[in-house]
Structure 1
């Protein structure tokens, strides 16, 4: 079956993996806008809320939004606070330098390019990042879990991503991600091929075997060409 679409995870895949201490990120955001004696308390409430919503996504495959994080923490964010959050995260959002070339090569082959990300951020934030890095126009469709009821590995999340790029046959789709459970298990369970970009920080999932393992995004084209040729 020729490859009709390649859909990418975002964090750790289209962006290189970064080790991030979420509590410190929240402290930096709060410190810019709150009285010093409130920073630790509010930052902990936000961290606890985010951890709980990520747990829900992991265990129940139910999505969440940034608004839910703030609501669960009992915090009313200002526009300035949200702007600081985006700014604090910015160094960790830059697209892999290999990505633009790979996305262009896929599209030159007539292959649709998409994104499916487990994220609490809005579409606007992601599109600002992709536009900044010159790849927004290289995407045929994108699905962010903040906009749908499910998170990966739920099959409906993958079906939504396929619909976003206009492909309805999962066997003609490839999903590329860094998480063996969410990404590879989820994709293969939904009938897609799964390509793993491994890193040492993501938990293993030994019950699934990727269709390919790549160390860098530019290795992907070899496998896509191989599958499209029937090899």
Structure 2
């Protein structure tokens, strides 16, 4: 089995979205929300974390709920102001996942094509990619908000294959943390899959990833073993 390309998810795969959101939330509370003591502040931060649903919540819906549920420092603050703060500030907290650039550099040095497929708004996702200077590593970057189709729809994976100039999906591997959007979605488009564990619980039935990893750096060892053995599925654990 040959391998032509590896495509990555963005949030909680190449960048540590959970860590970034925690830091952003502290700033958001400081800016907008009344927190009378450390305990109440911690409870508010946790409330926002749960309401965010790991980034899968519609942002206007999220901030409308927070505006109604939390005590505002300024009662005249609007939902639109909160949304503006999100779009203007969140990307500034973007942090790379451990080993991201080292792994990408190594994969490029081996002649592999690289891509990103990420759900989210074009504005926010591009801002995060630019913030940590990832753009130049990739031959294709597909953001659902820019193409009006989201993972796990196989169409978004097909768009990436077209941009990469690859006709056989079986020669492509997809790396992501979300069992449904990433693993089921990629497999439905004919790609092989690597699940980055530790961010989302496995709740899918009827499918399994071809490989499981606990950190991005494991991709290099997996690739070395797979190339040596001639079986890209070996090394899964």
TM-score, normalisation: structure 1: 0.70
Correspondence 1:97 to 2:115 = no
TM-superposed CA distance for 1:129, in Å, is 2.5
| 1:1-231 matches, cutoff 5 A | 1-16=1-16, 18=18, 25=25, 32=31, 54=56, 77=80, 82=84, 84-88=86-90, 90-91=92-93, 93-119=94-120, 121-122=121-122, 124-199=123-198, 201-228=200-227, 230-231=230-231
CA distance in 2, matches of 1:211, 1:157: 20
State the alpha-carbon separation in 1 of the partners of residues 214 and 197 from structure 2.
7
**SS, match of residue 18 in structure 2:** coil
Deviation per CA, 1:101-153: give whole Å up to 9, x if none: 1111111111011100111x22x443333233232211111101111232111
Give the secondary structure class of the aligned counterpart of 2:187: helix
The number of residue pairs the alignment matches comes to: 206
The alignment's TM-score, normalised by the length of structure 2, stands at: 0.69
Give unmatched runs, 5+ long, in structure 2: 34-51, 65-77, 232-237
Q: Measure, in 2, the Cα distance between the counterparts of 1:138 and 1:201.
A: 26
Q: Do the aligned partners of residues 13 and 54 (structure 1) sit closer, same or farther apart at CA in structure 2, a change above 3 Å counting?
A: closer
- Structure 1: gaps spanning 5 or more residues: 35-49, 56-63
Runs of 4+ that moved beyond 6 A: 19-22, 66-71
Distance in 1, Cα, partners of 2:16 & 2:175? 13
CA distance in 2 between counterparts of 1:203 and 1:5 reads 25
Could you tell which deviates more after superposition, 145-154 or 130-139?
130-139
Tell me which of the two structures has the higher relative contact order, counting C-alpha pairs closer than 8 angstroms and 6 or more residues apart. 1
For residue 172 of structure 1, report the CA deviation from its aligned partner.
0.7
1-side partners of 2:7 and 2:107: how far apart? 11
Q: Is the deviation greater in 187-196 or in 132-141?
A: 132-141
The 3 A distance-change label for structure 1 pair 181 and 199 is: same
**CA RMSD of superposed structures (Å):** 3.8
